[in-house]
Copies of this chain bind each other. A is one copy, B any other.
Amino acid sequence: MEKINIEKKILGENERYAFENIVFLTEKKKLCLNMISSPGSGKTTILTRTINELKDRVRIGVIEGDIQTDIDAERIRATEAPVIQINTEGACHLSAPQISEALKNLPIDELDLIFIENVGNLVCPSAFALGENGKIAVLSVAEGDDKPAKYPAIFAKSKALLLNKIDLLGSGHVDFDLERAKADARRLNKSLEVFPISARTGQGMADWYDWLVNSVAETAK
């Protein structure tokens, strides 16, 4: 019982900050998307390609969450997008107070869209609201088409699902039934947008960009 009370208290503080963050973002009319996946699904590669290819249409900033290192922030920095690195020092997810601090350090008025790249983990980050406008789940086809069924929370809570590394389909190296993964994810979340993409080759990225541009325009209204 004690454990539950403490968890409530911790979640309570997180949610207070999450609420402040969403109020801040709404007043500023900025879109903020919280990207969640396992390690190695391709979050950073998706972000660097998206930033580079949308450069003339959307001004993007990034909040990078990692347990250790600034390897990912360095990759984002190479695109010249503003980036704030958060090292969680062992924690398996970002928290709303960390995002609050990072938002203060981004040049928010010069941005249209802030991506949060959460710590690589398909489970824990889905339980912590950060004040974002929506979550983006990423699943690589190298991980297997049973993942929406096995890890339902993040698929149920996301606005969009990026099925990455589709250049591997038909290579003979992976078995991944795109329709099964889509159907399982949509069973959990009827309004989920699903984009099969390859951030490596660029395949399918145009639809994802259109969705981002529209979402930014909706937020700026």
A contacts, CB < 8 Å to B = 2-3, 6, 10, 38-41, 66-69, 71-72, 90, 92, 119-124, 140, 142-144, 146-147, 149-153, 165, 167-168, 171, 173, 200
Cβ contacts under 8 Å, A71 to chain B: 146, 149-150
24 contacts between A and B (CB under 8 A): A3-B10, A38-B39, A38-B120, A39-B143, A39-B147, A40-B140, A40-B142, A40-B143, A40-B147, A41-B143, A66-B150, A67-B150, A67-B151, A67-B153, A68-B150, A68-B151, A90-B153, A92-B124, A120-B150, A142-B143, A167-B173, A168-B173, A171-B171, A173-B200
User: Given that A40-B140, A90-B153 are contacting pairs, would A121 and B122 also be in contact in the complex, using a CB cutoff of 8 Å?
Assistant: yes
Residue contact A151 to B120, C-beta cutoff 8 Å: yes
Contact of A92 among B3, B66, B92, B152 (CB under 8 A): B92
Contact A40–B39 (Cβ < 8 Å): no
| Copies of this protein chain in the complex | 2
Which of the residues B6, B121, B200 comes within 8 Å of A3, measured between beta carbons? B6
Residues of B within 8 A of A173 (CB): 165, 167-168, 171, 173, 200
> Which one of A69, A90, A143 has the greatest number of beta carbons of chain B within 10 Å?
A143
Q: Which residues of B contact A3 (CB under 8 A)?
A: 6, 10
- Rounded to whole angstroms, the CA-CA distance of A119 and B3 in the bound complex is 22
Residue of B nearest to A175 (CB): B200
Partner of A40, one of B10, B38, B123: B38
Q: What B residues does A122 contact at CB under 8 A? A: 38-39, 120-121
A26 to B68, CA, bound (A): 36
* Alpha-carbon gap, A120 to B168, bound state (A): 22
> Contacts of A147 on B, CB cut-off 8 Å?
39-40
Measured between alpha carbons, how far is A124 from B144 in the docked complex, in Å? 21
Provide the bound-state CA to CA distance between A34 and B66, in Å: 25
Complex Cα distance A113/B67, Å?
33
A39–B124 contact, CB under 8 A? no
A204 to B: closest C-beta gap in Å: 15
Closest B residue to A198 by beta carbon equals: B173
Closest 10 CB pairs of A and B: A40-B143, A142-B142, A92-B123, A38-B38, A40-B144, A6-B6, A38-B39, A168-B173, A71-B146, A39-B122
